[in-house]
Structure 1
Amino acid sequence: MTPNSASSAPSRRNFLASTAVAAAAVAGGMPLLSACGGSQSGSKDGTTSGKDAAKILPSFVASTVVAPDIPAKNGSAAGFTKAIAEADLKTSVTKKLGSGGKLKIMAPFWGTPPKGDNPYYTAMNKAIGVDVTWQNQDGVTYDEKLGAVLASSDIPDVVVVPGWNLNGKIPGAINAKFADLGPYLSGDKVKDYPNLAAVPTEAWQRGIFGGQLRAIPMPASYVTDIAPLYRKDIFDKKGYSVPTSPKEFLSWAKEATRPKSKVWACDDMKWTAFNIFSVFPGSDKALWWNMVDGKLVNRIETDEYLEALEWVRKLYAAKVVHPDAVSGKAGGNAGNRLTSGEVLVYNQNISDWWGKMSEQHAQNPDFEIAAFDIFGPDGGDPKLWAVQPANIFTFISKKASKQQIKDFLAVCDFCAAPYGTKEFMLTMYGVEGTDYEVKKGLPAKTTQGVNEVNGAFDYTGNPAPFVAYTDFPDVTKGMVEWQQRMGAFTRKTSFFGLTVTEPNRWANLADSFEQLEDDVVRGRKKISDVQQAVADWKSKGGDDLRDWYKKLLDDTGSAK
């Protein structure tokens, strides 16, 4: 039986991509490099990268329960392209690890939370051996709820914290309120939980807060997840060649744009431009910085940053960008503009490759999209930068008993079961006949399953990254191989894999740059305005922030 899902539920993965810019972590108090020690709660200063991190991090033992059709390579996900019959599903949790104890878990939820006694929750609790009660909170205002709860003296047993909520006083509260999992997971101790042992070390590194292993991380591929997706069916029909340089792209875009026929070459291409011109990642504030020729440099200070904006500005000036993107409607409707044929190229989370194919296939069997390879500014190989290998974290209270911590880890280990196992099927699809039905050998969620089987157990544990869209095996193959090709050109910036919280006095220092970027590419501001903004940023604290980051790097070292 073959689940039509990627390594994390599509709703989580897509939400993460759409909010990447807003996810930068800022906090007050003394400098905190969560993966490198120095906390607000009195834990030791110094380094937890390098040798010290080795004492904290769990041993890595790759899972051999189910072999992927396409092994992971160059930081990519693994790929599964073939259906696995229910009778062939493997078992990764050979004995029930839960003690029958109770846990309350608070997590974000987008939509209307299901009833607490629904069949899915009941089946999961029985299989794991832990009585979990979910305290679902509105995902839109989760940061407010999270802050209030962590400021109180009474917090739930377990709390899910998305990376984009690591701001204000939350990081300090994490160090003060959540337990050290090291005594249960560090080194070979993790082997008591084989599915957690198969979580990549880079993801665990992100789970070190305040010098201790406090979080169960949600692993992700470090290869950029923003891909330039295009209408392959229209390209083939029109005889278009996929562009292989910025110059070729602009030339093709002018040829393909037909306003009278309501066809424009592309939507906003800013995030692809940042990749083409090798701009340091913008999805995490720590990744904005990198050592260049002995100096710590921020992405906004680089020539590459200005070159990327200038190229996108040329696209807008040539009127090859859809008018809705010009007016600022570049977000939620961009995918619809692609599927309608009004736009031929747009950039989006790579999971949308499957999303759009699945959505359109029944009504338009000829519909086909793909991702073209990112090229360099001169048409040669690109120089790409890695994104963070984990961005959602789950913690357990310091007040939890040892048995509660073990029960928590039992939940996490069960939910981190790999694709192709009975545990994975239950976690991701729920109860057969209630939450899903098998159609043509593939599980399909019922309306009840759609409402109930999401935003809960899938937060508490996840296997190493993988793609398993077996209803579209060519898409799975295309996605993984694209990641592998792009991964071959991907390098890591100085703070890759580390969770950094900036001092509050500089928290909003760079907030205006995203709007400025959008104004520049649309012709409302000039490149010189960016240069002036960078100069202002430096004088108002950017240079001081550079010194802060440099000292952090000198004191702790890199996790690369």
Structure 2
Amino acid sequence: MTPNAVSISSGPSRRSFLASTAVATAAVAGGMPLLAACGGSDSESREGATSGKAADKLLPTYVASTVAQPDLPSKNGSAAGYTGKDDLAALATSVPDKLGTGAPFRIMSPFWGTPPKPGNAYYTALDAAAGTKITWQNQDGTTYGEKLGAVLASSSIPDMVVVPSWELGGKIPNAVTAKFMDLGPYLAGDKVKKYPNLAAIPSDAWRMSIFGGALRGLPMPAAPAGFIVPYYRKDIFDEKGWSVPKSPEEFLSWAKDVTSAKAKVYACADMSWSSAGVFGVRPAGTLGWNIGDDGKLTYRIEEPAFLEALEWVRKLFDAGVVHPDDKARSGDPSQRFTSGQILVFNSDMSAWYGKTAEQAQSKPDFEIDAMDYFGADGGDPTLWASQPATIWSLIRKGASNETIENALAAANFAAAPYGTKERMLVDYGVEGTHYTVKDGVPVKNDRGNSEVINAWPMLAAPAAYFAHPDLPDIARRQVEWQQRMGVFMKKTSTYGMNIVEPSRYANLRSQFEQLELDYVRGHKKLSDVQEAISTWKSSGGDKLRDWYKELLDKNGSGN
């Protein structure tokens, strides 16, 4: 079975997700909810966070799944790992009775690639198994934020909408609290036991699903050690006898040595995402706020590391070691990576398995690996924990009880744990139609690869794990890399807190993503970035700091 993570790396909005955009969060810290401090009006109550005992009252009761124990348990914030083969004839059943009534409802979700036709064999089989009748309104994941904003601003919202954390910028967080229903009456406390797979979702992920003082989201859990991965072509490194760089200086020196414009081989893609890990830059959005050892609350762009990371990436561009298409932001860096035009690129964890499986037949010697992060001085890095949930499905306010019942039935089916018939169906589809079994391992065919993607796994998911029966060594290496890097993981003061910022600050940091792109490519000067930081502070950043200080004073710190 595949890992319970969607291949976000295929979508351009991934820059926001992977490196620098607003990330919604949920409360693990103690203290009073900020809601009381934000004022009494209905609009104001959508701002802030809910934490401590106030949040605990909203959460579903946690009942761990006992279906399959991982041979690589979670450690240092990693996902769990399964490296053995499933006995496909003895898969457990996690949904013994259909919980859906078959009533139709609509789901809007981001989709990367070409959506399958309505009524395809995969959708039909899932509906039959779960007792649902879903009309999927799949939207291009690359422009999903625009579509999401337009839909939430309209009076016509689908019954269920998938909202990724990287789209929670601007006015969307406030719209989420205004347009989607409180699921507490259906899931809080022991009520969730009607849906055992939802009950097995870790509580931290549910805390991340509290928006505007109510449990609104059905989460896709994520591993805190889910860092961006700097991949390198291990097969080529071994052939050439190259050592993996262990400092920013070593990387630049190696990059200059191996780049040959004449041979159309370049050292790397744009390394901005990985540079954040090298220099210890916090993510953007709510997670970017932190109280330092000096007791001062700062945002990521105010730290020296922010400029240091940008300056290092600019050196790579200036040295001509970055592929020209990456400088122009055209094409797919992962394809340049697999073709050998670039030797290092960064992406999320899903690319490790995805690219290896993709090249297995045509390039049997193809091998990629993940560089261990080094710090700015070549020592230990500082890596910032990812949030314990990053994607949610939500049910619109005003939905009928039957629609709610069917939406929760679908989410419960989608959240089936590894080692179950339901997980097998969600991940692989129908045997003989979407996959065949070879040497005890399910292998998707062309139809499986075109239909069994990007849909049902977006509704909800079990605790983060990796499992690749056809390439078990990849699952092992993924978990072990996360465990090694997790040793250097820290949590910001806003970790685990679902924070909805006041809408008046919605566009405060919108300029920085483009400015970062322009600066590292030589289109802007350092003084332009410094001026933007000053403008950010004077145009609302300092006032937003005061707002966050009040929030943290009342809720406590997430770290």
Is the CA contact 1:41–1:175 (under 8 Å) kept in the aligned structure 2?
Answer: no
The TM-score with structure 2 as length reference comes to 0.89
Question: For residues 266 and 277 of structure 1, do their structure 2 counterparts lie closer, same or farther at Cα, with a shift above 3 Å needed?
Answer: same
Question: For residues 46 and 453 of structure 1, do their structure 2 counterparts lie closer, same or farther at Cα, with a shift above 3 Å needed?
Answer: closer
Offset of residue 168 of structure 1: 4.7
Hey, what does 1:486 align to over in structure 2? 485
Following the alignment from structure 2 to structure 1, what is the Cα–Cα distance between the partners of residues 257 and 148? Answer: 51
Alignment of 1:314-463 (within 5 A): 314-325=315-326, 327-329=327-329, 332-463=331-462
Indicate which of 175, 180, 183 corresponds to 2:182: 180
**Which string of whole-angstrom CA distances, capped at 9 and with x for unpartnered residues, describes residues 143-179 of structure 1?**
4544444444453332222233334544333323322
Hey, what does 1:298 align to over in structure 2? 299
Which residue identity lines up with residue 320 of structure 1 in the other structure? V
Question: For residues 154 and 265 of structure 1, do their structure 2 counterparts lie closer, same or farther at Cα, with a shift above 3 Å needed?
Answer: closer
Alignment of 1:140-289 (within 5 A): 140-282=142-284, 285-289=285-289
Hey, what does 2:6 align to over in structure 1? 9
Which residue identity lines up with residue 93 of structure 2 in the other structure? T
Following the alignment from structure 1 to structure 2, what is the Cα–Cα distance between the partners of residues 159 and 340? Answer: 37
**Which string of whole-angstrom CA distances, capped at 9 and with x for unpartnered residues, describes residues 178-227 of structure 1?**
22111222233323322112212221112101101011011112224311
> What percentage of aligned pairs have identical amino acids?
57
Question: For residues 47 and 135 of structure 1, do their structure 2 counterparts lie closer, same or farther at Cα, with a shift above 3 Å needed?
Answer: closer
Moved more, 390-399 or 523-532: 523-532
Offset of residue 301 of structure 1: 0.9
2:298 match: secondary structure? strand
Following the alignment from structure 1 to structure 2, what is the Cα–Cα distance between the partners of residues 384 and 323? Answer: 29
Question: For residues 367 and 134 of structure 1, do their structure 2 counterparts lie closer, same or farther at Cα, with a shift above 3 Å needed?
Answer: closer
Which residue identity lines up with residue 471 of structure 1 in the other structure? D
Question: Pairwise CA RMSD of aligned residues?
Answer: 2.7
Moved more, 207-216 or 436-445: 436-445
Offset of residue 286 of structure 1: 0.6
Which residue identity lines up with residue 97 of structure 1 in the other structure? L
Is the CA contact 1:36–1:209 (under 8 Å) kept in the aligned structure 2?
Answer: no
1:62 equivalent to 2:64? Answer yes
Following the alignment from structure 1 to structure 2, what is the Cα–Cα distance between the partners of residues 16 and 485? Answer: 28
Question: For residues 558 and 53 of structure 1, do their structure 2 counterparts lie closer, same or farther at Cα, with a shift above 3 Å needed?
Answer: farther
Following the alignment from structure 1 to structure 2, what is the Cα–Cα distance between the partners of residues 364 and 554? Answer: 56
Which residue identity lines up with residue 514 of structure 1 in the other structure? E
Offset of residue 554 of structure 1: 2.4
1:304 match: secondary structure? helix
Moved more, 387-396 or 228-237: 387-396
Offset of residue 433 of structure 1: 1.8
1:311 equivalent to 2:312? Answer yes
Following the alignment from structure 1 to structure 2, what is the Cα–Cα distance between the partners of residues 376 and 22? Answer: 19
Is the CA contact 2:231–2:347 (under 8 Å) kept in the aligned structure 1?
Answer: yes
Indicate which of 70, 79, 82 corresponds to 1:80: 82
Which residue identity lines up with residue 290 of structure 1 in the other structure? N
2:538 match: secondary structure? helix
Following the alignment from structure 1 to structure 2, what is the Cα–Cα distance between the partners of residues 485 and 413? Answer: 33
Moved more, 13-22 or 293-302: 13-22
Which residue identity lines up with residue 455 of structure 1 in the other structure? N
Offset of residue 529 of structure 1: 3.2
Following the alignment from structure 1 to structure 2, what is the Cα–Cα distance between the partners of residues 280 and 471? Answer: 36
Which residue identity lines up with residue 405 of structure 2 in the other structure? K
**Which string of whole-angstrom CA distances, capped at 9 and with x for unpartnered residues, describes residues 30-82 of structure 1?**
xxxxx964685575888621111111122333222011221111111111222
Which residue identity lines up with residue 530 of structure 1 in the other structure? V
Following the alignment from structure 2 to structure 1, what is the Cα–Cα distance between the partners of residues 140 and 254? Answer: 44
**Which string of whole-angstrom CA distances, capped at 9 and with x for unpartnered residues, describes residues 294-345 of structure 1?**
22111111111122222223333333333333x333x643223322323222
Question: For residues 459 and 262 of structure 1, do their structure 2 counterparts lie closer, same or farther at Cα, with a shift above 3 Å needed?
Answer: closer
1:261 match: secondary structure? coil
Hey, what does 2:548 align to over in structure 1? 549
1:95 match: secondary structure? coil
Question: For residues 232 and 392 of structure 1, do their structure 2 counterparts lie closer, same or farther at Cα, with a shift above 3 Å needed?
Answer: same
Is the CA contact 2:221–2:464 (under 8 Å) kept in the aligned structure 1?
Answer: yes
Moved more, 410-419 or 152-161: 152-161
Stretches of structure 2 lacking an aligned partner (at least 5 in a row): 25-32
Offset of residue 89 of structure 1: 1.6
Question: For residues 57 and 126 of structure 1, do their structure 2 counterparts lie closer, same or farther at Cα, with a shift above 3 Å needed?
Answer: same
Following the alignment from structure 2 to structure 1, what is the Cα–Cα distance between the partners of residues 311 and 531? Answer: 16
Question: For residues 319 and 165 of structure 1, do their structure 2 counterparts lie closer, same or farther at Cα, with a shift above 3 Å needed?
Answer: closer
The TM-score with structure 1 as length reference comes to 0.89
Which residue identity lines up with residue 323 of structure 1 in the other structure? P
**Which string of whole-angstrom CA distances, capped at 9 and with x for unpartnered residues, describes residues 394-414 of structure 1?**
112332344543332222111
Question: For residues 145 and 323 of structure 1, do their structure 2 counterparts lie closer, same or farther at Cα, with a shift above 3 Å needed?
Answer: closer
Is the CA contact 1:6–1:468 (under 8 Å) kept in the aligned structure 2?
Answer: yes
Question: For residues 312 and 409 of structure 1, do their structure 2 counterparts lie closer, same or farther at Cα, with a shift above 3 Å needed?
Answer: same
Hey, what does 1:24 align to over in structure 2? 22
Following the alignment from structure 1 to structure 2, what is the Cα–Cα distance between the partners of residues 508 and 419? Answer: 41
Following the alignment from structure 2 to structure 1, what is the Cα–Cα distance between the partners of residues 34 and 430? Answer: 42
1:515 equivalent to 2:517? Answer no
Offset of residue 359 of structure 1: 2.0
2:54 match: secondary structure? helix
2:128 match: secondary structure? helix
Following the alignment from structure 2 to structure 1, what is the Cα–Cα distance between the partners of residues 115 and 313? Answer: 41
Hey, what does 2:466 align to over in structure 1? 467
Hey, what does 2:29 align to over in structure 1? none
2:230 match: secondary structure? strand
Question: For residues 366 and 80 of structure 1, do their structure 2 counterparts lie closer, same or farther at Cα, with a shift above 3 Å needed?
Answer: same
Hey, what does 1:29 align to over in structure 2? none
Indicate which of 75, 90, 93 corresponds to 2:92: 90
Is the CA contact 1:25–1:502 (under 8 Å) kept in the aligned structure 2?
Answer: no
Offset of residue 374 of structure 1: 0.3
Offset of residue 278 of structure 1: 0.7
Which residue identity lines up with residue 459 of structure 2 in the other structure? T
1:412 match: secondary structure? helix
Hey, what does 1:32 align to over in structure 2? none
Question: For residues 261 and 289 of structure 1, do their structure 2 counterparts lie closer, same or farther at Cα, with a shift above 3 Å needed?
Answer: same
Following the alignment from structure 2 to structure 1, what is the Cα–Cα distance between the partners of residues 168 and 311? Answer: 32
Question: For residues 135 and 305 of structure 1, do their structure 2 counterparts lie closer, same or farther at Cα, with a shift above 3 Å needed?
Answer: closer
Stretches of structure 1 lacking an aligned partner (at least 5 in a row): 27-34
